[in-house]
Structure 1
Amino acid sequence: MEAATAISEDRADVAWEILTHLSAMPNRKGNSEQKLMDYMLSALKSRVSPIDNPPPVAELFTEEHVSSAQSLYELSPCFEAGFMAANRAILGATSEQPSTNKLHVIDFDIGLEGQYRGLLYELSRRQASNQSTLKITALADSFNGKERLRMVRKRLSELTAVFRVRLVFNVASQKLSELSRDSLGCESDEVLAVNLAFKLYRMPDESVSVENPRDELLWRVKGLGPQVVTLVEQEMNGNTEPFKVRVGDALAYYGALLQSIQFGYGIAESERVRVEKGLSRKLGNSVACEGRERVERSEVFGKWRARMEMAGFELKPPGRHVVQSMMAALSAWSPAHTMKEENGGVCFGWRG
């Protein structure tokens, strides 16, 4: 934090002296604290001297990084719980329209296909005499290519025989300005849900671009008239807060995440290494980069809520049964994983 303070005060020589001193200290990179220190040292060095220590930018768009993010979603109960909570909200919307057995989910970033394995299971468990239909429209972009989404479709299709739910999986590639109910195949007799899980934090907002794709996407989604929109994001100041605040939040957030992964049981070492490399890239980009080069720009819940409200959405707190079922699921993973209701949202964490 002293180095971050020096950087924010334009005292690069002082910051570099501190970083050089810290780099000389023995660091075996064995436990989560040592790994966090190593990642932050690299990030701050990139901030002070980006030519000699290039920060990760293009690396965040590689297949390797996509793979590390997928592994993180599957290995961290906090991420998995977030996807489960989104499912509960989507299923709640279907319960409010019992006259139809058709559910259409528009997903702008299928980060964890397991979310839809869970949704298929729940729909099969709830369906009566009429077979349920789950239509998924997945939007392809630079992070999720059409070929990857086709593989997701193939794997989910193999489950339909088991769950006896009809699956319709469409891959769309459209500009924001082209999004409409017609272009996305929305029908009047289906429950329409939009899943915004870990999508918005990778989109520039008004602080980066006059086009403001982050708000434009929300306005376009509002225009689709969905019954429910689910937002799942990381709770961290990574956007417009001052540099020192971002560094402090990154230390707290990634420190908790690395520690929770270290205490995870049954995780193959290769998977753990893949996830940790991905986290080092994410932290490095968040701390070292500015402008368009800062690909990931997380916010805290209050700011996400304000942005959603400005786009015309109304907050719908999760029902009591949803909260109780999620608490039971999270405690089964580990008593160190925590959950709390906060201002209408559900927050998952590690030791609070």
Structure 2
Amino acid sequence: MSGASKGSESVKTPVWRLQRSPVESVKPPVQRSPVSISWEQSLVEAATAIYEGRVDVASEILTHLSAGPNPMGNSEQKLMGYMLSALKSRVNPVDYPPPVAELFTEEHLLSVRSLYDVSPCFWLGFRAANLAILEAASEQPSTNKLHVIDFAIGRKEQYDSLLYELSMRQAGNQFTLNITTLADSIIGAERLRMIGDRLSKVAAVMGVRLVFNIVSQKLSELSRDSLGCEPDEVLAVNLAFKLYRMPDERVSAKNTRDELLRRVKGLAPQVVTLVEQEMNGNTAPFPMRVGEALAYYRALLESLESKFVRYDSERATRAEEGLSRKLVNLVACEGRDRVERCEVFGEWRDRMGMAGFELKSVGRVVAKYLEAGFAFPLQEGFTVKEENGVVCFGWLGRTITVASAWH
């Protein structure tokens, strides 16, 4: 299956603009050195040797690469260091234990949120999800009630923006925004209460009535009644960066990923928003997974070096720390220990289709937003492209995230 986009045109002016026509992938303006190509090839050779059971050959390659200087100064050096750690963990998990439990810690949660905050490829994905939700609300002007079910509030600022947009659309008829979120082992009820208290203060300033509910339920118990859904409200489900952390049929016969989608479909929402990283980190054979990780994380780490991101160097550094754990876990682990299982959009499209969903074009909604004058400066190198109804956010020809909407 193919992804939504493996390439997009490099932005020529520092303005976020929607690119409508299909374009070919472009190479970054700075050519990679033969040395960097050599170590990447060596890493893929080591991965191939591991895959074929020639662990001694892989160990020799990794020992040779580790002997060289690696000051971890730029994105290329960081990528090499992360991948060396990953492959060493794969070969010898006793001496080099891979991060598994670490991906459920408060520290990692803060790192991921830092990534969502500083990288346009991520926070623009949340913005696209908001636009799709607002579009669904505008399609039912007879009601001023909007209910959003969020299974993992990844970025609380998403709802700051949504409250602001609703306040601008009230026209004397006060909106009610009902947010229902589910507590789990990663985001506990106490943290969610803090988010709810903060959003209540924002809502009071915006003049929007906010109802914030926290529920603790098993997946099998989810229903419109248990989630407090009302017949006269617009119901939206936000799945931004949720599904990639859920086990699928390759991990468990229960397949909680597909079960969640079936449960969501049973809620009969007006819109479901899906934002995910564009990377085949689940089904590809091990050497291909390593090659995919090298290409994806190279682009992502390079983008974090841009001036646009580095104005907040503390959060950018924290985001990189989280990326190192994500990459090592992706490469070193299998089964339930591989916590994150990213897919390309083609896989998500098929999975959503099997659950009974139909794609609802979000590209047109984003285009309307830009045409209304809400464009803003964005550093050259970041790209935004509409493709077949979805919106792809990327860096120098590589798609990083894809936002889509469904009904």
Same fold (TM over 0.5): yes
Aligned counterpart, 1:294:
338
Rounded to whole Å, the distance in 2 between the matches of 1:145 and 1:317 is 34
Instruction: Give the 3 Å change call, closer, same or farther, for CA 212–326 of structure 1 in structure 2.
Output: farther
Aligned counterpart, 2:222:
179
Q: CA deviation at 1:329?
A: 6.4
1:282 matched to 2:330? no
1:304 matched to 2:348? yes
Aligned counterpart, 2:263:
220
1:348 matched to 2:397? no
Q: CA deviation at 1:100?
A: 0.2
What secondary structure sits across from 1:182 in the alignment? coil
Aligned counterpart, 1:148:
191
What secondary structure sits across from 1:332 in the alignment? coil
Aligned counterpart, 1:333:
378
Q: Percentage identity across aligned positions? A: 70
Aligned counterpart, 1:120:
163
Q: CA deviation at 1:345?
A: 1.4
What secondary structure sits across from 1:333 in the alignment? coil
Could you give the per-residue CA deviations for residues 170-223 of structure 1, whole angstroms, max 9, x where no partner exists?
011110000000000000010000000111000000111000000000000000
Confirm or deny: 8 A CA contact 2:118 2:312 kept in the other structure: no
What secondary structure sits across from 2:359 in the alignment? coil
Rounded to whole Å, the distance in 2 between the matches of 1:311 and 1:2 is 39
1:209 matched to 2:252? yes
1:131 matched to 2:174? yes
For 1:159, the aligned partner's letter is V
**What do you get for the CA RMSD once the two structures are aligned?**
1.4
For 2:357, the aligned partner's letter is F
Q: CA deviation at 1:126?
A: 1.1
Ranges in structure 2 where 5+ consecutive residues have no aligned partner: 1-43, 398-407
Rounded to whole Å, the distance in 2 between the matches of 1:337 and 1:69 is 20
The one of the two structures with greater contact order (alpha-carbon pairs below 8 A, sep at least 6) is 2
**Greater mean alpha carbon deviation, residues 303-312 or residues 7-16:** 7-16
What secondary structure sits across from 2:142 in the alignment? coil
Q: Normalised by the size of structure 1, how large is the TM-score?
A: 0.97
Rounded to whole Å, the distance in 1 between the matches of 2:185 and 2:137 is 31
Rounded to whole Å, the distance in 1 between the matches of 2:240 and 2:380 is 25
Instruction: Give the 3 Å change call, closer, same or farther, for CA 126–71 of structure 1 in structure 2.
Output: same
For 1:24, the aligned partner's letter is A
**Greater mean alpha carbon deviation, residues 217-226 or residues 271-280:** 271-280
Rounded to whole Å, the distance in 2 between the matches of 1:331 and 1:258 is 23
Confirm or deny: 8 A CA contact 2:79 2:298 kept in the other structure: yes
Aligned counterpart, 1:103:
146
Rounded to whole Å, the distance in 2 between the matches of 1:324 and 1:94 is 15
For 2:321, the aligned partner's letter is K
Rounded to whole Å, the distance in 2 between the matches of 1:15 and 1:73 is 35
Equivalent in 281, 302, 314 of residue 270 of structure 1: 314
Could you give the per-residue CA deviations for residues 113-146 of structure 1, whole angstroms, max 9, x where no partner exists?
0110110011011111110011000111111111
How many residue pairs get aligned? The number is 352
Rounded to whole Å, the distance in 2 between the matches of 1:82 and 1:326 is 15
What secondary structure sits across from 1:236 in the alignment? coil
Rounded to whole Å, the distance in 2 between the matches of 1:325 and 1:80 is 16
Equivalent in 9, 15, 29 of residue 52 of structure 2: 9
Confirm or deny: 8 A CA contact 2:360 2:389 kept in the other structure: yes
What secondary structure sits across from 1:253 in the alignment? helix
